[in-house]
Amino acid sequence: MQITRAICSKESYEIYQKYQAKIHNEVDKSKSGYSRFLCESPLFDPANKKEAERNPTEDSNRDDSREAKDEGVWPEYLGSYHMIHRIDGEIMALGVLDNTPNVLSSVYLYYNPKFEFLQPGTFSAVREIEYCLRIQEVFKPDFNWYYMGLYFQDCQKSVYKASYKPSQVLCPVTFNYVDLTEEVKEKISKAKMPKLCMDKPKLKELDLSGNQVQTLVKNFTFIMAARGIKLKIEDLSRSFVKQIQDMVGDLYLTLGLDVMLTS
């Protein structure tokens, strides 16, 4: 295994061309397109003064200032990297990774079609998980997470991610991570925006305080159906106001951000 910066090379591009032609039935003749897609990463480590001082409005290729070399097991700087797996010196598979402070993000994988029988997708995922554990053990104890990207349960190219256990998915309502159990999978299959857990929103800025509930309620308009009269919260009795406030708080726990967006 070799780890290098995510820089376009003749060898890696040729493997990508073979992969696109065989696996996706696409002929990719644009080396610049490949470079923009899987190289030229905008990610950089502020500790890397050379990259931090670069003008982000420059039109020049970001990789011009980056060196193609073996970075060792644990690169000096955060950013985007290529994890290259070889057999007898020949590239078998190449994983594109974003190395962040405590998460290894698996961005993309392509491989030499001649090695397809070795299941390079499974091999690389297991290898990357093993890599995370190694980094956590030897270099960075808080390097806790391996991110496999978006999970689409009805997409064959994505559903395989559920086979790596234990795994979690992000609840789109509460923004809490939950274990990907069979019960959670069922909820995902039944709704476009499923509420996967009953916990309060994890982000503090999304957690409603008593004052925020009162502010929301002040914006509500109530209609007395029998007479068609519009009422504001201050027109209601104190006990009824308390009931309304409790109901708004419960709705927020159930609907998450939706209640903010529709109020």
SS (H, E, C) 121-176: HHHHHHHHHHHHHHHHHHCCCCCCEEECCCCCCCCHHHHHHHHCCCCEEECCCCCC
Q: What is the pLDDT of residue 225?
A: 67
Domain count, the chain: 2
Same structural domain, 112 and 224: no
Q: What is the pLDDT of residue 117?
A: 95
Residue 263 has pLDDT above 60, yes or no: no
Q: Is residue 189 part of a domain?
A: no
Residue 205 has pLDDT above 50, yes or no: no
Same structural domain, 15 and 91: yes
Q: Is residue 186 part of a domain?
A: no
Residue 220 has pLDDT above 90, yes or no: no
Higher pLDDT, 54 or 192: 192
- Domain limit, last residue, from 147, 170, 186: 147
Q: What is the pLDDT of residue 58?
A: 63
- Domain limit, last residue, from 98, 125, 147: 147
Same structural domain, 14 and 141: yes
Segment among 70-79, 179-188, 241-250, 254-263 with least mean pLDDT: 254-263
Q: Is residue 198 part of a domain?
A: no
Same structural domain, 137 and 261: no
Q: Is residue 184 part of a domain?
A: no
Q: Is residue 100 part of a domain?
A: yes
Residue 254 has pLDDT above 70, yes or no: no
Same structural domain, 112 and 234: no
Q: Is residue 201 part of a domain?
A: no
Residue 96 has pLDDT above 90, yes or no: yes
Same structural domain, 251 and 140: no
Q: Domain of residue 242: give its range.
A: 208-263
Same structural domain, 110 and 20: yes
Domain with residue 44: its CATH number is: 3.40.630
Same structural domain, 50 and 143: yes
Same structural domain, 138 and 60: yes
Q: What is the pLDDT of residue 110?
A: 96
Task: Record the pTM.
Answer: 0.72
Q: Is residue 262 part of a domain?
A: yes
- Domain limit, last residue, from 125, 147, 169: 147
Q: What is the pLDDT of residue 133?
A: 95
Confidence band for 128, pLDDT divided at 50, 70 and 90: very high
Segment among 71-85, 125-139, 145-159 with least mean pLDDT: 145-159
Q: Is residue 158 part of a domain?
A: no
Q: What percent of the chain has pLDDT over 70?
A: 86
Mean pLDDT of 207-232: 72
